Amino acid sequence: MEDRKRDHIDLAFSSRLEGKHVDNRFDYEPLFGTHAKQKKEYQFAGKKMTLPLWVSSMTGGTQRAGTINKNLAQACAEFGLGMGLGSCRILLDSPQHFNDFNVRPIMGDAAPLFANIGICQLETMLEEGSTDKLGELVEKLSADGLIIHINPLQEAFQPEGDQQKRPAIELIQDFLQQAKLRIIVKEVGQGFGKESLRHLLQLPIEAIEFAAMGGTNFSLVELNRSNAVAAEVFNPFIHVGHTAEDMTLMVNQLVSEMPADDIKVKQLIISGGISSLLDGYYLTSIAKLPALYGMGSAFLRHAMGDYSKLKTYVEQIDHGWSLANNFLKVKQV
């Protein structure tokens, strides 16, 4: 106790919040909660999760990526999270990388897991009549479904990028008529505008993942790999897009405007620029559709080495989520 009191004296002045931002999204209600953890379950893709937290798609196809994926899978198993794999395109051409993505034995059957393919690869497979390979991929990975990522700007800026010939909405609609898979549609760092969201909400898909502005922007990743002239000309495109809060409010507005029978999508994954659990807590609370929140780079920072570092990070998120449930009241917008 003496050490703790000495710390209080030493840290009192450096811990003042004068002039610093107050988070006005919440009412803090300290009279009514306890420190006991609330036991809750969250549903996604027919599976139960104990935290509404999604490990957003990141990487695969290298030894280092294999280590990252296995650490993330272990966290999903231990803490009841869901996970989207990085692009599995390489598995269609190079099966030797399968072990980098083969995380189901680590995760167990309880946690939701989704494979991932790009819209340009889907277009090629639709043209070739080979989309059955995607079902085989999902089955081989023992995944619960497939993420289709939409990335026209990333492909445009990628030196070796693919050229999309048909609008993504047409390709997804064609695939849904053929496939018997649970589908998530996501962007790659700039999000979806209102009309894109309106059309996606009318599709019979498992979820829309925002991948909004503010997180890892894969268009910028490709520009950073490109030549100096391309980077100069195309850089303004990087600043076009929609934040996770903007998209949550757009979906809320669309849900209010559209006939209920027109809304077929089951759930949202609110991701992109979610840097803290309170961001996720707030946005999932105000969403008018059932929602998880997703993080990518925040997990990546803790998943590159020994699992214990990642475990400590997720333990703190778990504890923080319980504190938010017990002591915060979200101000509805």
Segments forming the whole domain that contains residue 47: 28-330
Whether 81 is in a domain gets the answer: yes
Q: What is the per-residue pLDDT for 310?
A: 95
pTM of this prediction?
0.92
- C-alpha to C-alpha distance for 199 and 251, rounded to whole angstroms: 11
In this prediction, residues 261-276 reach a mean pLDDT of 95
Q: What is the per-residue pLDDT for 179?
A: 92
Whether 176 is in a domain gets the answer: yes
When divided into structural domains, the chain yields a total of 1
- The DSSP letter of residue 164 is -
In this prediction, residues 73-98 reach a mean pLDDT of 92
Whether 202 is in a domain gets the answer: yes
User: At residue 237, does pLDDT exceed 90?
Assistant: no
DSSP code per residue over 190-234: S---HHHHHHHHTS--SEEE---BTS--HHHHHHHHS-HHHHHHH
Q: What is the per-residue pLDDT for 208?
A: 98
Whether 7 is in a domain gets the answer: no
What mean pLDDT, rounded, does the chain reach? Answer: 90
Q: What is the per-residue pLDDT for 95?
A: 82
Instruction: Tell me the CA end-to-end span of the chain in Å, nearest whole number.
Output: 43
Q: What is the per-residue pLDDT for 155?
A: 86
Whether 8 is in a domain gets the answer: no
Domain containing residue 34: CATH number: 3.20.20.70
Q: What is the per-residue pLDDT for 2?
A: 58
User: At residue 4, does pLDDT exceed 70?
Assistant: no
Give tens-digit pLDDT for 198-222. Answer: 999 999 999 999 999 987 777 888 8
User: At residue 331, does pLDDT exceed 50?
Assistant: yes
In this prediction, residues 104-132 reach a mean pLDDT of 96
Question: In this prediction, what percent of the chain has a pLDDT beyond 70?
Answer: 92
- C-alpha to C-alpha distance for 97 and 95, rounded to whole angstroms: 5
User: At residue 15, does pLDDT exceed 80?
Assistant: no
In this prediction, residues 110-125 reach a mean pLDDT of 96
User: At residue 60, does pLDDT exceed 60?
Assistant: no
Q: Alpha-carbon dihedral of residues 122, 127, 131, 133, nearest 10 degrees? A: -90
Whether 11 is in a domain gets the answer: no
CB-neighbour burial class of residue 292 (10 A; exposed 0-12, middle 13-18, buried 19+): buried
User: At residue 315, does pLDDT exceed 90?
Assistant: yes
Higher pLDDT, 55 or 159: 55
* C-beta separation of 62 from 100 below 8 A: yes
Q: Which of 35-39, 190-194, 285-289 has the lowest average pLDDT? A: 35-39
- C-alpha to C-alpha distance for 192 and 214, rounded to whole angstroms: 13
Q: What is the per-residue pLDDT for 8?
A: 46
Whether 39 is in a domain gets the answer: yes
Higher pLDDT, 286 or 1: 286
- Residue 9: pLDDT band (50, 70, 90) is very low
Which amino acid type is present at position 308?
S
Q: What is the per-residue pLDDT for 219?
A: 80
Whether 6 is in a domain gets the answer: no
Higher pLDDT, 119 or 225: 119
